[in-house]
Structure 1
Amino acid sequence: MKKHLLALLVAGPLALGLSGCVISVDSDGWDGHTVDWEDREYKNRKVIAELELDLGTQQVKDRLGVPDFNETLRRDGETYTVLFYRTQRMHGDGKTTKDECTPLVFKNGALVGWGDTALNRI
């Protein structure tokens, strides 16, 4: 009997103390999402602005993370890789498209340029 009473005395306050936990959810559900893509775009633009030509593909991936899109082709014995990173919002649909990304162009594993001008030259 004393064990049951002791268990109630210990468990009772614990149960009441834990019942005060509250989880807060945004009213519209979009605030956190909006901040995420804005922060991501800003970070990507900032890192891209500080890139230097001749960096390796892996060095750029280490700085920017996994690209949103990537393409590779071989032409005239040269290998070109294009990594696309989201840098601007064009559509409010929640999906990333290439027109919302900045292309980073690599030739044989070395960064040779970024932006539409660099992409159009390959």
Structure 2
Amino acid sequence: MLGKIFVATALAVTLSGCVVAVGGDHDFDDDSSWKKAQRYNQEQVNKLQMDMTAEDIRTLMGKPDFSESFNKDGQMVQVLFYRTHHDKSDGKTTKEECTPLIFKQNKLVGWGDKAYQYL
């Protein structure tokens, strides 16, 4: 019995310094991966030029967060979405937190919400 008390006391003393953080809003953590990606994407959007190909963009910015492809008026349209701003702290990236990049016939023809609305 004395041995069990000793083990329990030793565990209590050694584990008393352990802290586990669960949940919460970690906006103070500037090193979080989504913030790094978001900041990087913002910088890359400033480098965009009309007529870049989708492959040029993927080389520059990496894999998009979302993508869409469809045929409109006989032209192939592709939209790549890259996270560029924060909406709410729910741990999920949404299209509303992304900048759309619009391609027609594999050439960049516009980006941003206005360009996406004009589709």
* More helix by percentage: 1
* Correspondent of 1:46 among 40, 43, 46: 43
* Correspondent of 1:93 among 82, 90, 95: 90
* Correspondent of 2:108 among 101, 108, 111: 111
Give the CA deviation at 1:121.
Answer: 1.1
* Correspondent of 1:72 among 69, 72, 77: 69
Give the CA deviation at 1:53.
Answer: 0.5
- 5+ long unaligned stretches in structure 1: 1-24
1:28 alignment counterpart: 21
4+ residue runs over 3 A deviation: 25-34
RMSD: 2.2
- 5+ long unaligned stretches in structure 2: 1-17
Give the TM-score, by structure 2 length.
0.74
Alignment: residue pair count: 98
SS in 1 for 2:32: helix
Identity of aligned residues (%): 38
Give the CA deviation at 1:27.
Answer: 6.0
